[in-house]
Amino acid sequence: MFDNVTKSVRVLSAAAVEKANSGHPGMPLGMADVGVAIYKNALKVSNKNPDWINRDRFVLSAGHGSMLLYSLQHFNGFDISVDDIKNFRQLGSVTAGHPEKDFQLGIDTTTGPLGQGFANGVGLAVAERYLSNVLGEDIIDHFIYGIVSDGDLMEGISTEAAELAGLWKLGKIIYFFDDNNISIDGNVTKVSITNQKNKFLSMGWDVLEIDGHQESEIIDAIKHAQKITDKPSLVIAKSTIGKFSPNKANSSGVHGSPLGEKEFELFLDNIGYSGDPFAHSSDIYDYFNNERERDNKTFQEWKANLDKKISNDENFKILWEEFNNIDFQSLSLEWSDDQASRVVGGKILNEIGKSNKFIIGGSADLAASTKQIVSDEVFGSQNYSGKTIEFGIREHAMGGIVNGIALHSNLIPYGSTFLVFSDYMRPSIRLASLMKTNSVFIFTHDSIFLGEDGPTHQPIEHLMSLRLIPGLEVIRPANNNEILYAYKYAFQNKNNPTAIVLSRQDMQYLENNLQYEEFIRGAYEFSAGKDITIFATGSELEIAKEVSNLLDNLSTQIISVPILDKLDNETLNLLNPNSEIFTIELGRSVGWDSHIKNIKKSFSINSFGKSAPIEDLINEFDFSAEKIANEIKNLIN
């Protein structure tokens, strides 16, 4: 029966790609045996309760092979119909070319950029181990299965994440490596000499080598990997890309293009299939029915145990409610002296950590500098209940792992580094926005005012570059209330990622009566005035205040803009700026004019910085309050 089921999976997958005249048939044809074996013999998923928190996760890191996932989900009774399959890659269809996530369809995460899914899976495993320790193994105890490709393993992010998975002994990870030696441009051996087995063994993984087309070997590998509790597992499955395609199998021609009408017919003949390729007999569906019914029953048993635990254990009840409703609206912290916003932010994060168990994260070897430490307990193989994660110098993997933790359930994870190193994390940040995860990215050392470290560490274009990402809310707080509200806003379930951007240097304590409702509008009036208006963010708010004092013959309205992307016409109308408008921000000014019209001048930095003490940099880049005030006077006279 196994052969008949894998035949149907291959035929349905190839037919969908053929009908769309777009897609990647090679991987589904090559990995159908592995996919069927996982769904039949290992995966614990409920098609009636697809978002069950204790389900096994299936990560298709080789997301170009999405038709394999759709075919398997369809035959396993998830809400993907034949019509959905026929609409593969079409506008508005639930069967996209590279799906990201859709828990209701049973899609946990299926990434397009290679390597991302690998790191996401490590994040899912971190979440599984952490929640299992905090909530109990009777509530959280599941595996993370995945299929990864040559391309995944070539991308640096996968090696970064793999080493952490080995270090942390995340034994719930079971990845199958589709070892077909083919990428878009031909044989992988042209561009890679890596012995993947030795590489992963050196990073603390358990490694098996099997024939990816032999059912018994696949099942035995799964059983073996499930028993290895102190190491993640990599199963190297030797496979033939485009298997059963008579002229394109084992070639790059089957990787990213439809088989073509003639080859598709030859493929059907070769595999022994006749009739409508979208119509499959009931026994194919029945093959998986017992497994899914068993899992649906397991869900009911799990749910009954959860309900009983909530009823009988008051401490667990409080914990479960906290987990499902993270809220920091009542958070408060008192201080009134000049401090760097990274320091104040660190104090707030530490207070958050004391009051909630479901904030978890850390820094890329920069906690001593970013100050973003949520707890003294460090996550690791000796303490899976630690909330602080030490990522090492691995910004790219940190981003992917943070997203994976967020994808798991209601945990809100964060990763922290210098703003200039957000470049290393950009693919992960972009995917966080695309997938609408509750990932939090905390960046410090936010301008040339970090001083002597020089232009390689001084961010110039990074603020606007991050603001370009749709759905990412970039917060650059300017005073103590704004910093407090930034953390309140970021660490809650709101289905979108947040970047908090903080200073290295001390910032003036600026007294204000800002209310949270004003903050989340994105901008508010810091001080009133009727002649000119200055918009400013972050440490530049204190510069705007100094400029205002020097413009003693002008009445200056100062508007603080902690979240520029939220500054819309409605908020501008409420703020009612004057006709003479200026902006001050230590970065590229490109983008301000898309939110505010008729800006007289943007005081900004449009070149790389220099290595020097702050005072010298202020003079070098004409960013003293005196120079700005004099230029404003000249511009309006």
Show which residues are catalytic.
Answer: 395
> Which residue matches tokens 């009636």?
48
CB 211 within 8 A of CB 232: no
Phi-psi region of 41 (alpha: psi -120 to 50; beta: other; left: phi over 0): alpha
Given a contact cutoff of 8 angstroms between Cβ atoms, the answer to whether 192 and 150 are in contact is yes
Burial 385-398 (b: 16+ CB within 10 A, else e): ebbbbbbbebbbbb
Q: Are 501 and 475 in contact (CB under 8 A)?
A: yes
Rg (CA), the chain: 27
Compute, in degrees rounded to 10, the torsion defined by CA atoms 117, 123, 125, 128.
-130
Cα separations in angstroms, 306 against 238, 277, 312, 428, 553 = 41, 43, 10, 34, 68
Q: Which two tokens stand for residue 418?
A: 């210098």
Cα 43 to Cα 15: distance, rounded to the nearest angstrom: 26
The token pair at 598 is: 């008729």
- C-alpha to C-alpha distance for 607 and 605, rounded to whole angstroms: 6
Under 8 Å between Cβ of 500 and 486: yes
Report phi then psi at 524, rounded to 5: -155, 160
In this structure, which amino acid lies at residue 211?
Answer: D
